[in-house]
């Protein structure tokens, strides 16, 4: 009996020590994208804090992440700001499916929509896609979400006018492009990204610009899009600037997320900022102030408190 209770006590102690550590997960995207390595970098910094055990998950992208953060299946998720806005406000694709429990933690970096095509497809503009095999994106992705907005602006019905509307992930797309299974694919991503570098190393590719008129119309219609340029020379063989539309990648969570976890994640970035910036080239231009740009949902109160404590939000 005595023995048994000693065991019970030591088990109890073990359980208490374990539960003192908070386990958090960050939903990202495909492994060759930018969400995944940057999510890994945030977890590495967060894990310097002995009270946190952060793990990064590769997922289908923004739509998957926002839905699973709200179901508490993921603690945090990377989500495009256009998706954040529509989900929080229950508009667009999320009409009648909005959720006011969504909270922003911080803005990460700008993403620009890339329409990557094989040179052999002869696609030179969006209007050349008729009758082509285009990978618009897997259903959980933000890639599909934004690509459909641009096609809509051009008046192109992807279900009627493409010869095939592809649903591969961005990760699967460079290989499919090389094997001529598709003529092009969409990726809303922070640049430079391994995915497009891989594609450009495997076959001659091009990046297709959104027309000036269409880009202006899109930014006039939606509060969260901005015009941006993927610079010439960023990827092998692309020797022209590519005008396109962009968003912010935002780290989100649910209103129910613990203050400790949110605080730990924000502080891991703020307190190791220089190290953070050097972890991925997409983070080079990020400043502490830009962590608050384009959030598209209210800040979680613990994030607000962490930014106030760091003097970035003035009380």
Between the CA of residue 218 and those of 82, 94, 198, 249, what are the distances in Å? 12, 18, 30, 18
Name which position in 62, 107, 253, 268 contacts ligand GLU (CB under 6 A): 62
Residues 180, 181, 183, 187: is their CA dihedral positive or negative? negative
> What distance in Å separates the CA atoms of residue 172 and residue 188, rounded to the nearest whole number?
15
CB of 62 to ligand GLU, least distance (A): 3
111 binds ligand GLU (CB under 6 A): yes
166 binds ligand GLU (CB under 6 A): no
Helix (H) or strand (E) holding 300: none
Which of 29-37, 150-158, 289-297, 302-310 is the region at the interface with ligand GLU (rule: CB under 6 A)?
29-37
Helices 62-70 + 81-89 axis angle, to 10: 40
Within 13 A of 105's CA, how many CA atoms are on the CB side? 33
35 binds ligand GLU (CB under 6 A): yes
67 binds ligand GLU (CB under 6 A): no
34 binds ligand GLU (CB under 6 A): yes
74 binds ligand GLU (CB under 6 A): no
CB of 237 to ligand GLU, least distance (A): 21
| Angle CA 141–144–147, to nearest 5 | 140
CB of 49 to ligand GLU, least distance (A): 25
Which of 30-38, 86-94, 148-156, 214-222 is the region at the interface with ligand GLU (rule: CB under 6 A)?
30-38
Site for ligand GLU in 132-161 (CB under 6 A): 141-143
Query: Phi, psi (5° rounding) for residue 58?
Result: -80, 130
CB of 4 to ligand GLU, least distance (A): 51
> Helix (H, G, I), strand (E, B), or coil: what is residue 237?
coil
CB of 189 to ligand GLU, least distance (A): 4
> What distance in Å separates the CA atoms of residue 35 and residue 127, rounded to the nearest whole number?
30
39 binds ligand GLU (CB under 6 A): no
61 binds ligand GLU (CB under 6 A): yes
Residue with tokens 């830009």: 290
> Helix (H, G, I), strand (E, B), or coil: what is residue 22?
strand
> Of 141 and 244, which CB lies nearer to ligand GLU in the complex structure?
141
Which of 13-21, 185-193, 230-238, 255-263 is the region at the interface with ligand GLU (rule: CB under 6 A)?
185-193
The conformational region for residue 294 under phi > 0 = left, psi -120 to 50 = alpha, else beta, is left
* Interface residue list for ligand GLU (CB under 6 A): 29-30, 33-35, 61-62, 80, 111, 141-143, 188-190
């Amino acid at each position: 009996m005595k023995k048994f209770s000693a065991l019970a006590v030591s088990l109890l102690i073990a359980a208490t020590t374990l539960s003192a550590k908070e386990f958090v997960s960050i939903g990202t995207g495909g492994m060759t994208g930018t969400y995944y390595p940057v999510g890994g970098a945030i977890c590495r910094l967060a894990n310097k804090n002995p009270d946190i055990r952060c793990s990064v998950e590769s997922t289908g992208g923004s739509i998957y992440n926002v839905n699973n953060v709200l179901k508490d299946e993921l603690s945090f998720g990377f989500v495009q700001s256009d998706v954040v806005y529509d989900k929080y406000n229950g508009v667009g694709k999320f009409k009648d499916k909005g959720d006011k429990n969504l909270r922003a933690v911080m803005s990460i970096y700008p993403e620009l929509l890339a329409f990557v095509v094989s040179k052999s497809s002869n696609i030179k503009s969006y209007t050349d896609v008729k009758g082509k095999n285009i990978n618009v994106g897997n259903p959980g992705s933000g890639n599909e979400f934004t690509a459909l907005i641009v096609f809509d602006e051009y008046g192109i019905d992807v279900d009627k006018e493409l010869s095939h509307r592809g649903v591969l992930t961005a990760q699967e797309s460079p290989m499919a492009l090389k094997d001529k299974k598709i003529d092009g694919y969409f990726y809303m991503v922070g640049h430079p990204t391994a995915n497009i570098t891989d594609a450009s190393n495997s076959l001659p590719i091009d990046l297709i610009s959104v027309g000036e008129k269409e880009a202006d119309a899109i930014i006039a219609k939606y509060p969260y899009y901005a015009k941006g340029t993927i610079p010439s020379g960023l990827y092998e063989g692309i020797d022209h600037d590519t005008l396109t539309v962009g968003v912010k990648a935002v780290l989100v969570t649910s209103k129910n997320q613990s203050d400790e976890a949110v605080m730990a994640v924000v502080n891991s970035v703020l307190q190791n900022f220089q190290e953070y910036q050097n972890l991925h080239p997409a983070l080079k231009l990020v400043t502490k102030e830009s962590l608050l740009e384009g959030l598209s949902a209210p800040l979680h109160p613990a994030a607000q408190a962490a930014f106030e404590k760091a003097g970035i939000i003035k009380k």
